[in-house]
Amino acid sequence: MMGSAMTIPLRDNQHEVRLVGTPLDRDIIDHVQETGVHPKMQRQLPAGVQPIQVDDLEEALDGADLLISGVSSFGVDWFSETVLPLIPDGRLPVLAVTKGLAEGPEGAITPFPYLWRERLKGEKHVSFNAIGGPCTSYELADRRHSCVAFCGDEPAVLERLREMLETPYYHISVSTDVCGVEAAVGLKNAYALGVTLAVGMIEREEGVGCTPAYNPQAGLFGQSMREMGRLVPMFGGRPESVAYGVSDLYVTVFGGRTRRLGTLLGRGLAFAEAMGELEDVTLESVAIATAVANTLRKREATGEIRLADFPLLEHIDGILNQGMVMNIPWERFERREL
């Protein structure tokens, strides 16, 4: 949906836009071709957006000035195998909305722009860039004020992308801190799951539909900020980039599948039971929490860190991967900074 929402600022800036679906999006592309409406986002896409099936991807790339990747983290391998070979050498920059981190050997964590660059194996040069920060597809499509960051290694490319996409409502910062921005906005998916445990916890105590309790959510939000603030520099990012993840965390706890999963787990359901309620949808929050916890365990084995110093992430991982049920370790969040 975010890939489709990006057509709004592009068309407002008078760019020609070709919207190409993945093999999983055939029905969506058919629907847009017939009605002009994105069936999941329930928004009319602007006139001038050309919906195209994946079979015509190579033709759609012909003459393009920018390729925006709208795949989720579960489509990263498909993008690598199918799209990367078609990108011309040195001319067509990539801008990804994908949020996530790839788990590597020996505790390594790699942002997706660098993963794609590695997979090219030096065979050609492609400028890989990514978008981070708080922005939902629905609100972007409705032209709500949104503040994001474009990150990449080439300042001149970032400025060109900013000029192409910035509008009076789509506000773009630029950063060469790819590791920091991508780590921050990837981690927010894991911690959004953690914060929304408190929603289900109160529902378990007072009933579904009860008055929300914000103190518990805020406590988990604060602990999420502390842990993200330690993890982003650990993964090679600059401390100031944490703000992009924290602001994105704020957006994510208010809705979507991650909130639904966190709420179910907070009510005391086991992970398998909660996923059954959600009809086994794939969730970025589960993937990122698992990858980061695995990475920290590898680093703990070398004596670099202690997983116990990240009690909220450790608890989330316990629920997702070790059969635990929700029992928030509040006492482990307490601090004595005397």
* Domain chopping of the chain, boundaries: 2-176, 187-333
Confidence at residue 183, expressed as pLDDT on a 0 to 100 scale: 97
Confidence at residue 255, expressed as pLDDT on a 0 to 100 scale: 83
> Which pTM does this prediction carry?
0.94
Confidence at residue 269, expressed as pLDDT on a 0 to 100 scale: 95
Among 112, 106, 115, 68, smallest CA distance to 87 is for 68
Confidence at residue 104, expressed as pLDDT on a 0 to 100 scale: 83
- Burial category of 34 from C-beta neighbours within 10 Å (exposed 0-12, middle 13-18, buried 19 and up): exposed
pLDDT interval class at 36 (50, 70, 90): very high
d(CA 58, CA 236): 35
Percent of the chain with pLDDT over 90: 92
d(CA 62, CA 60): 5
Confidence at residue 271, expressed as pLDDT on a 0 to 100 scale: 94
Confidence at residue 280, expressed as pLDDT on a 0 to 100 scale: 60
Tokens 């909220």, residue located: 312
Mean pLDDT of the chain: 95
**Topology of the domain covering 2-176:** Rossmann fold (3.40.50)
pLDDT interval class at 283 (50, 70, 90): confident
**Topology of the domain covering 187-333:** N-(1-d-carboxylethyl)-l-norvaline Dehydrogenase; domain 2 (1.10.1040)
| Tens-place pLDDT, residues 111-147 | 999 999 999 999 999 999 999 999 999 999 999 999 9
- The SS3 call for residue 157 is helix
Higher pLDDT, 108 or 26: 26
